[in-house]
């Protein structure tokens, strides 16, 4: 009997779905309103496609229970619960992906786990990062963008002063907004680059 066909296997899966339900709802809301994680919707879809793409290889391997999966599953659950208690949402997301990886190894065995390593790891790119961390990453990019703009404006002969993310020219003041930092593009392109590298490697 396959591990996932046992009552215990299904009980574990259903328990985890209930455990993560609140976080999944929060993540969905972030995807809906965040300018940085609008791509989050497609990450699970792509991950599912990658699993489907390897269905032939997966079906050739008999599933087996591997208790080493508990080494990922249990710490992942502990980290998730600690993050829930501390109200640190992005840690909950990474812990959830860790639990999924542990569950795959536990219920399907090491061979299938290796085949599914990238599709599972790819799910980390759907996890919204903490807002403070986004701000910390955005600020240097904003300053760099302002510096580039100042050089261009100065090159064409317009007097300009840069103060952090603010540019001052005669009679006008401009600010390089967080949305112009380029971080949104970096996040989305990182997901695309990882997917492309995986597909090229085969």
pLDDT digits (tens, 9 = 90+) for 38-89: 888 999 999 999 999 998 998 898 888 889 999 999 999 999 999 999 988 8
191 within some domain: no
Range of the domain at 104: 3-129
Residue with the larger pLDDT of the pair 164 and 111: 111
Report how many domains make up the chain. 2
Q: Is the pLDDT of residue 137 over 90?
A: no
Average pLDDT of every residue of the chain: 80
pTM of the model: 0.75
Same domain assignment for residues 49 and 119: yes
Same domain assignment for residues 110 and 93: yes
Residue 25 · residue 98 · CB < 8 Å = no
Same domain assignment for residues 42 and 69: yes
Same domain assignment for residues 19 and 85: yes
Distances (CA, A) of 182 to 8, 22, 135, 156, 193: 47, 31, 12, 24, 16
């Amino acid at each position: 009997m396959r591990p996932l066909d046992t009552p215990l296997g299904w009980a574990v899966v259903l328990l985890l779905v209930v455990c993560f339900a609140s976080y999944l709802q929060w993540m969905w809301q972030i995807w809906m309103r965040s300018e940085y994680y609008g791509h989050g919707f497609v990450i699970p879809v792509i991950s599912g496609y990658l699993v489907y793409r390897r269905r032939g290889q997966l079906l050739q391997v008999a599933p087996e229970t591997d208790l080493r999966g508990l080494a990922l599953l249990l710490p992942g659950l502990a980290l998730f619960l600690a993050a829930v208690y501390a109200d640190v949402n992005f840690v909950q997301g990474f812990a959830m992906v860790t639990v999924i990886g542990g569950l795959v190894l536990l219920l399907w065995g090491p061979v299938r786990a290796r085949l599914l390593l990238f599709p599972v790891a790819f799910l980390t790119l759907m996890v919204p990062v903490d807002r403070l961390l986004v701000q910390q990453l955005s600020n240097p990019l904003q300053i760099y963008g302002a510096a580039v703009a100042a050089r261009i404006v100065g090159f064409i002969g317009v007097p300009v002063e840069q103060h952090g993310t603010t540019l001052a020219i005669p009679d006008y003041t401009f600010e390089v907004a967080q949305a112009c930092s380029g971080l949104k593009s970096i996040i989305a392109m990182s997901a695309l680059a990882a997917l492309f590298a995986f597909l090229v490697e085969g």
